[in-house]
Structure 1
Amino acid sequence: MFSSYSLSKCLVAFHILAIQLLVGSASSLNLTNEYLHHKCRVNQGKYQSGSEYEKQLNSIIRTIAADRLIDGFIHTSNENDNNSVTIIFQCRGDSYRSKCFPCFATALAGFRKRCPRNKGGIIWYDQCFLDVSIINDHVPRRMNFENTFSMHNPNNARGNTNSFNKKTTDLLYNLIVKADRPDVDGLNFLYYAAGEIRLGKQTLYAMVQCAKDILSCKNCLEWSIRELSKCCDGKQGGRVLSTNC
């Protein structure tokens, strides 16, 4: 038996990035689908070819393929005590509908290549992330501080660093307000926002996003902003990524 949790609005998709920050041209936020990072859950063991676990995993994958991920997010489990498989997958908030499912196929192939026959693992791409586990983290999920990482542009931003950092933080907190709000029908939450501000002759672009099934989007994004200040102060670009926001 399968249980799943997915979005009800096809115009909304949820997150690979907690925070994304770039300084540059308008093309800075154009969609790519580069591999970003992965983590194999070696402590969850490996499965053998033809095993019951492999059958359960392939069954869930077929279910997701049939769904086509129109909503951009899914959290599904087979609820099997002996061979439990849970998959959480989400696309970036500006990559949904027809753009989302191809990223699932890419992420699945990447996971199988980088974590061959591992029962669990996580892989991040620019447009999506895939989380496979033998443990079902029931909805709503709490913040997981283990599966996080950061990236940054090696180049420093021009001008006054303190002013740049303050304007960056202000923009991100404004985006949190936009992300953590009801959508047009007041029932679901968008949990995604992007914006920009002018910095002299340059433009600062930022993006925030949470997964639909986490306990608190606001708290998750505020934590990510604090992490961004540790890794990326004064840098022209930076990201903090997790499986929650």
Structure 2
Amino acid sequence: MSIGEETVDENESRTRRIQDDRMIGAAVGITMTRYGMSYADASVLLENLAARHRRSVLDLARTITTSRWPTAESFDWARDGSPVGRLEHTADESAAGRLLDLLIETPDLNDLLGAAADLAVESLPGCDYASITVIRDGAPATVASSDERAAKIDELQYNHGQGPCLQAARTDQVVQVPDLSSTTWDLPWKDAAAAIGIHSALALPIASDADIAAALNLFSTRPGAWPASTQAMGEELALYIGSAITLAYRRNLA
């Protein structure tokens, strides 16, 4: 390499570092503005979020300053209701960027969780309704739902003391019911679910540092609506919801 080539490479490297620093600075600035944090506190928050989700701070900064979460319209559908054709498109876009945007932009926890439930319906292939269950002091409650039908099914599960949302929250395990009509589970509420058009359910545990148990509940009007790709995207979304809950409790917004 000649001296001239080395100088060009050094200049390009310096330019990239400056651009990366500006990207991180923009993300810190958004966090400072939305939450009234100091620069140091906002920087620590981003570092903790990045570590929690095994991402670099720079990657997280890109997500915060852009929106890359795919919509359900990005997918084609097979006759059985499963998404096909464009799933490879989600490989580098499933970082739940829009929920992170909401985390930064929405200081009220209730508004944030409501927006997260709506985002699940909009973004997760096969999901027609969504809700979030939180168990505090042994008592379950639906803290957000995209539709009253989701909240109704949650309430039926609470009344009977069993169901995917309760099991996921209590055991920290994913619970999938591909077809309510043919499941071997004893679910006294499944006829009521069928009556309002719900035929499959997927419950994803939400992990947070707060002293609660929680689950993201997904419902579909189609049987067999939960391919591995949808479950993976839902689990990632649940991770970010957990971060939002943790942040809100730490800032006394709950």
Rg (Cα) greater in structure = 2
Superposition TM-score, scaled by structure 2 size: 0.29
**TM-score where L is the length of structure 1:** 0.30
More helix by share: 2
